[in-house]
Chain A
Amino acid sequence: MPLDMRQTEYTLIAGSVYRPGQLDVSLRDQRPAAPVELTYKTVAKALDRKGLRYKDEATLMSLMAVAGLGDALGTPEQRERTAVIVSSNFNNIDTVVQVARQIEAEHVHATSAMALPNASSNAVAATIAIVFQLRGTNLMLCNGDRSGEDAIGLAQQLLAAGRADRVVVVGVEVDNADIRTLFPDVAYRFHGAAAVLLGDQADAPRVRPVMDAAFSATDRAATERVCGEASGAEGILRLLLAAECDSPVLMGAHTWCVVAP
């Protein structure tokens, strides 16, 4: 019998989406738009924090999305037991191919040592932990197009196993020249980050499985219509969209409902 992590319900304590250029637009009203490049200065100012100069776009957008969770991130004590799971496929592809091209065209001496942290695929998850002081289990999931919904399942696993009391799950993808050159063309690719804080909090909306497969559940296609092809961020966006639209959400083989507290 295959293990099914999606048996236990959980609460959606907070959610946040950050897309440069599409601020203050509700998720369901988002429309296709050319990706807007985010500079570290914007993020440094918003977070009132230094040391972000060499962060890649995926990391910067993720930091903005997690900052959007606001006070829900909790007290320092709660943050000690808050896990971080980041889902992404394109996160550091830009750094990796740019450095490889520099080395091939010139020599390793042409590269910048400041790129080193971004050469490791878990830079986003690590930086979120550092900036927001989240010391629960830290995981980076790079699992293809279903990575986002797998990340939600993994969050439930960490909660059920007692490795964390709360989990910040982030889905982030980037759309830039390196991604457009290396991967197949799509009409509209998501460029942004979505964050949810999951746990068990009495006054938060409860996400629970429903047996009768709802006919209008929010599925991948529905998410893509408003957010674009979101790859590893899609599952997290889908959950947020369902919560915003007060509709059931289809995750894997299951339909879930977000129920008001």
Chain B
Amino acid sequence: MSRIVITGVGACTCVGDTAPECLDAFIAGRQGNATLQHLRPSQYGSTIAYERAEKGEGDGRRRSSAFLSRALREAVTMAGPDVHTMSVPVYVGTGLRELRTAELAALAGDRIAVGDLDFTAAVRDVMPAAEQVLTISNACAASNYALALAMDAVRMGAPMAIAAGCDTLTSSMFGLLDRVNPESVEAVQVFDKYRKGVLMGDGGVALIVETEDSARAAGRTPLAQVMAVGLSTDAVHETAPDAAGISRALHDAYTRAGIGPDAVDAIYVHGTGTGLNDSTESAVLAQAFADVADKPAISGIKAMTGHTSGASGAIGVIAAIHALRTGAIPPTPGTTNPVDEAAGFGLSGAAQQVETRIAQVNAFGFGGVNSVVLLSRYEENRDAA
């Protein structure tokens, strides 16, 4: 079986319009939190978010679609000149699909079409021949689920598949998170003892997934190997995380990849800055790595981007690919008092340089949907696994 590799990436967040811009900002620890731009601050308790400046159409419609098209165009262009004309399955992971468009239309008294809620049109703006476009609405783990499905599709014979993600703030989700936050939040403090909660961000991301053979035949450059995507379902609670469920996702990923936790050099944590997520995730990691003397470095990308919901997993994947290629691990700014469970892991306010052969990306979502991606450095002459 030919190895599965990523040959193109694209991303946009509040701190960059392209993947390289985002990565530069991540390594610099540049945080994108600012006063609400696209929702009216007067209507909410908390008024800070990590939004892209891009305005969308009219009163702000189709912003998620715009982020997706932007990231997809970048990834496709990077992979090769003919990729945009190909018909390959595209899996789009999103927490909130185009629900902001639905909100704006409802407030304006307009009608929309069913097709305005999903991302088939946004993908076909970039790839007109894309027949199979699937909008997977798997909450905050959605783009990692998209990667799992894309990887499975390639394993089962598709020459290429695309995993993408996109989200923007909805008034309903931003407002209800604000409603349940006991304190006003100014920034996402990943794994900090005194963290106050989550703030939303927005953005888009795309990954070109294919076999090594397909990439080589077409002259495309593999950026990294996808070893495995582990998935699990808590079936416990609608919003609260479950340590047992998250542990199963880790175990599923390690088993599929045929490695143990000791092989992991860097972890891009889900790290939302909420009381429950960070305590559960850090406890699971502490337990999984209890017997590992040389613990991996940890990076919390949401300190820079906010919680980009369905896009966040694959944005972590792009940061992980950067580490596999350069050794550069982004800092986690704003975390000055790390939780005890993070002791021994390299969690730093400054960028780190770490020899990274294998990187892990966690993403967990509402409803107990858990995903763990394992990536390894692409080495051309290594025998196929």
| Residues of A75-131 contacting chain B, CB below 8 A | 84, 89, 92-93, 95-97, 99-101, 103-104, 107-109, 111, 113, 115-117, 119-123, 125-127, 129-130
Take A117-B239, A122-B365, A122-B367 as given contacts and tell me if A182 and B176 are in contact as well, using a CB distance cutoff of 8 Å. no
Is B385 interfacial (CB 8 A cutoff)?
Answer: no
Known: A120-B366, A182-B112. A101 touches B106 (CB 8 A): yes
- Chain B 150-191, CB within 8 Å of chain A: the 1/0 string? 001101111101000000001111011111100000000000
Chain B, range 85-104, C-beta contacts under 8 Å to A: 87-89, 94-97, 99, 102-103
Question: Which residue of A is nearest B92, CB measured?
Answer: A143
Quick check: A125 and B367 within 8 Å, CB to CB?
yes
> In chain B, what residue has the closest Cβ to A150?
B134
Is residue A192 contacting chain B, with contact meaning CB distance below 8 A? no
Pairwise interchain contact B238-A137, C-beta atoms closer than 8 A: no
Of B228-236, B321-329, B352-360, the stretch lying at the interface with chain A is: B228-236
* B43 lies within 8 A of chain A by Cβ: yes
Q: Which residues on A sit within 8 Å (CB–CB) of B339?
A: none
Contact B107 A182 (CB under 8 A): no
Instruction: Select which of B44, B88, B99, B368 is within 8 A of A121 by beta carbon.
Output: B99
Contacts of B112 in A (CB 8 A): 182-183
| 6 interchain pairs, CB-CB under 8 A | A103-B175, A138-B367, A139-B136, A144-B114, A182-B102, A182-B105
Residues of B within 8 A of A111 (CB): 175-176, 179
Task: List 5 tightest A-B contacts by C-beta distance, closest first.
Answer: A126-B367, A3-B158, A99-B172, A161-B152, A121-B137
Contact present for B238 and A144 (CB under 8 Å): no
> Any chain B CB within 8 A of the CB of A157?
yes
- Please tell me which stretch of B72-80, B115-123, B260-268, B290-298 contacts chain A, meaning at least 4 of its Cβ atoms lie within 8 angstroms of it: B115-123
A144 proximity list for chain B (CB < 8 A): 114-115, 117-118, 120, 135
* B176 and A113 within 8 A (CB): yes
A145 at the interface (CB under 8 A from B): yes
Q: How large is the interface on A (under 10, 10 to 19, 20 to 34, 35 or more residues)?
A: 35 or more
For residue B145, CB closer than 8 A to chain A, the reply is yes
Residue of B nearest to A54 (CB): B238
Q: Is the CB of B134 within 8 A of A121?
A: no
- Verify B368–A130 contact, CB threshold 8 A: yes
Partner of A142, one of B40, B117, B366: B117
Across the interface, do B134 and A3 meet the contact criterion of CB distance under 8 Å?
A: no
Q: Which of B43, B89, B236 has the most CB of A within 10 A?
A: B43
The residue that A2 contacts in the complex, of B45, B111, B113, B131, with Cβ under 8 A, is B131
A122 to B149, CA, bound (A): 17
- Please report the C-alpha to C-alpha distance between residue A133 and residue B43 in the assembled complex, in whole angstroms: 39
Whether a CB of chain A sits under 8 angstroms from the CB of B132 is yes
Q: Does any Cβ of A come within 8 Å of B139's Cβ?
A: yes
A143 lies within 8 A of B171 (CB) = no
Task: For B177, give its contact among A84, A116, A161 (CB under 8 Å).
Answer: A116
**B382 is an interface residue with CB less than 8 A from chain A:** no
Q: Which of A104, A147, A163 contacts B152 (CB 8 A)?
A: A163
Least distance between A28 CB and chain B CB atoms (Å): 25
**B369 at the A/B interface (Cβ < 8 Å)?**
yes
User: What is the 8 Å Cβ interface bit string for chain A, positions 191-219, against chain B (1 contact, 0 not)?
Assistant: 00000000000000000000000000000
Contact B114 A231 (CB under 8 A): yes
CB–CB A107/B43 < 8 A: yes
